[in-house]
Amino acid sequence: MKMALETEYSPDADRIMAVSLGPQHPGAGHFRIRLWLDGDYVVKALPDAGYVHRGEEKMGEYRNYIQNVPHLERPVILDSSNILFAYSLGVDELMNSKIPSRGQYLRVIMSEINRIISHMYFIAIQGLFLGHTTMITWCMGDRDFWIDLGERIAGARVTFAYIIPGGVRNDIPEFAIEKGLRTCDWFEKRMDEYEKIFYDNPMVHQRSDGVGVLSREEAVAFGATGTVARASGLALDVRKDEPYSSYQDFEFKTPVLTQGDSWARAYVALLDMRESVKIIRQALKRLPQGPVRLKLGPQPRVPAGEAYSRTEAARGEMSYYIVSDGSPRPYRLKIGVPSAKNLRALPHLLRNVHVADIPVIYWSLNYWPVEADR
């Protein structure tokens, strides 16, 4: 099979025009794509990432395990619980701690709430790039109900910092359980409306069917994860393959589509949210009693060793590799983020497409530059 980075053009041909898209461009935020165009067609595209590289991994080495919590959720602020989930799992593994079951359930609830928040943002902006203004106004508004629910539970808007090593930060208030169940009921009806107005819309089909097709083999070759892989027919889901925390207690499916185009990548997000709602409802109904966290103290000492942990974040597989030398600070912290994995497919997908399709394909990869650059 063909790989993406081989070039198929001669640079001295007069027809080819080199254009830089971004970092200031409505179709590409905090990110640049270098394009070589032949008329309205893209001959070659090279992504230029790194505008938001903030040195998270290095910073992790001079903060202790608890101080690391707030800055480690910033790379993917839309999905802040899932990135902390992987970190906490790693630290728990190093410390050999046994998390109380109420804490486990609350972790799952928060991580699924965050998955919905992240996917809502994703399909809102996908609607914007497809010229579907209804979707961005609806989704951005509805997303706030979930953010509110998270705020009721964790006490902060967007940056929850809820999942920490040793459990969760605080218990869930009683009224939030009820509010959560109500939000679930309302949201399931709402998603039917999204299907009608967005996914069954002929205009959306025309603009995204068959645009940026990633076949199953290509998805394997590029190492795609998450929504991108599932839209191409790969049933990848860490929650199923390697259940962590208490995911084995819940009933849910891994949605898989086979088209592999931009429409499928957006639709997988909706199917994902349906499963998330199911998980949240089950977890809220069956929430066990008991403590929610272990007592760790402000400067926990972590025994020497190394741990690799992974979770299924909204965008795909999020992984941490933590090395400890027995001091209160990590010796090495490596974050493996799904956005960076999915970015590899971009130069391949942006070949022989119209310029107008670039934002659609780019955003359908669910790429979040801040996360990819760390």
Partner 1 sequence: MVVAERQKAGTFQVLVGKIDEVLQYAIGDPLRYLANWGRLYSLWPVHLETACCSVEVGAAAGSRFDIERFGTLEAFGSLRACDLIIVMGTVTRKLAPRLKLIYDQMAEPKWVIAMGACSITGGLYFDSYNVLRGIDDIIPVDVYVPGCPPRAEALIQGIVLLQEKIRRMPTLSGR
Distance CA 243, CA 229 (A): 19
Give yes or no for residue 70 binding partner 1 (CB under 8 A): yes
Closer residue to partner 1 in complex, CB, 158/221: 158
Helix axes 262-285, 101-129, angle to 10 degrees: 150
| Helices H / strands E in the chain, number of each | 15, 10
Q: Which 227-246 positions form the footprint of partner 1 (CB under 8 A)?
A: none
Chosen from partner 1, ligand SF4, none, partner binding at 163 (C-beta under 5 to 8 Å by type): none
Work out how close the CB of 35 gets to ligand SF4 at its nearest, in angstroms, rounded to a whole number. Answer: 28
Minimal distance, residue 104 CB to partner 1, in Å: 28
Distances, alpha carbon 116 to alpha carbons 36, 53, 207, 283, in Å? 36, 26, 25, 15
Name the minimum Å distance from CB 153 to partner 1.
17
Measured from the CB atom, the residue of 158 and 257 that comes closer to ligand SF4 is 158
The alpha carbon of residue 345 and the mean position of all alpha carbons in its chain are separated, in whole angstroms, by 16
Residue 154 vs residues 35, 118, 124: alpha-carbon distances, Å: 43, 17, 24
Asked if 74 interacts with ligand SF4 (CB under 6 A), we say yes
| Residue 124 in the binding site for partner 1 (CB under 8 A) | yes
Beta bridge partners of 336: 319
CA distance 312 to 325: 28
According to the binding rule CB under 8 A, does residue 25 interact with partner 1? yes
Strand order in the sheet with 330-336: 305-312, 317-324, 330-336
Residue 184 partner contact from ligand SF4, partner 1, none using kind-dependent CB cut-offs of 5 to 8 Å: none
Of residues 270 and 370, the one with the C-beta less far from partner 1: 370
Under the criterion CB under 8 A, does residue 61 sit at the interface with partner 1? no
Residue 52 interacting with partner 1 (CB under 8 A): yes
Cα–Cα distance, 27 to 103 (Å, whole number) = 40
Answer yes or no whether residue 30 interacts with ligand SF4 by CB under 6 A: no
- Which tokens is 295 given? 């007592």
Shortest Å, Cβ 121 to ligand SF4: 14
Does 198 participate in binding partner 1 (rule CB under 8 A)? no
Minimum Å gap between C-beta 158 and ligand SF4 is 8
Task: Please pick, from the candidates 99, 147, 266, 333, the single residue that binds partner 1 as defined by CB under 8 A.
Answer: 147
Q: Pick from 16, 29, 64, 249 the residue near partner 1 by CB under 8 A.
A: 29
Q: Could you give the CA distance from residue 226 to residue 269 in angstroms, rounded to a whole number?
A: 10
Binding flag, residue 131, partner 1 (CB under 8 A)? no
User: Which tokens hold the place of 350?
Assistant: 């942006």
Distance CA 336, CA 326 (A): 23
Q: Which of 54, 182, 196, 285 binds partner 1 (CB under 8 A)?
A: 54
Quickly list DSSP for 325-357.
-SSSSEEEEEEE-HHHHHHTTHHHHSSS-BGGG
Q: How would you class 212 by CB atoms within 10 Å of its CB: exposed for 0-12, middle for 13-18, buried for 19 or more?
A: buried
Beta-strand (E) ranges in the chain? 16-21, 24-25, 28-29, 32-38, 41-48, 163-164, 167-168, 305-312, 317-324, 330-336
- Is position 143 an interface residue for partner 1 (rule: CB under 8 A)? yes
**One character per residue 149-168, x = contact with partner 1 (rule: CB under 8 A):** --------xxx---------
Give me the least distance between CB of 69 and partner 1, in Å please: 11
Query: Residue 34 binds which entry of ligand SF4, partner 1, none, with Cβ cut-offs from 5 to 8 Å by kind?
Result: none
Taking CB under 8 A as the criterion, the residue among 38, 93, 144, 306 binding partner 1 is: 144
> CB 136 → partner 1: shortest distance, Å?
7
Which of left, alpha, beta for 233 (phi over 0: left; psi -120 to 50: alpha)? left
**Residues making contact with partner 1 (CB under 8 A):** 23-26, 29-30, 50-55, 58-59, 62, 70-71, 74-75, 77-78, 121, 124-125, 136-141, 143-144, 147, 157-159, 370
**Residues making contact with ligand SF4 (CB under 6 A):** 74, 77
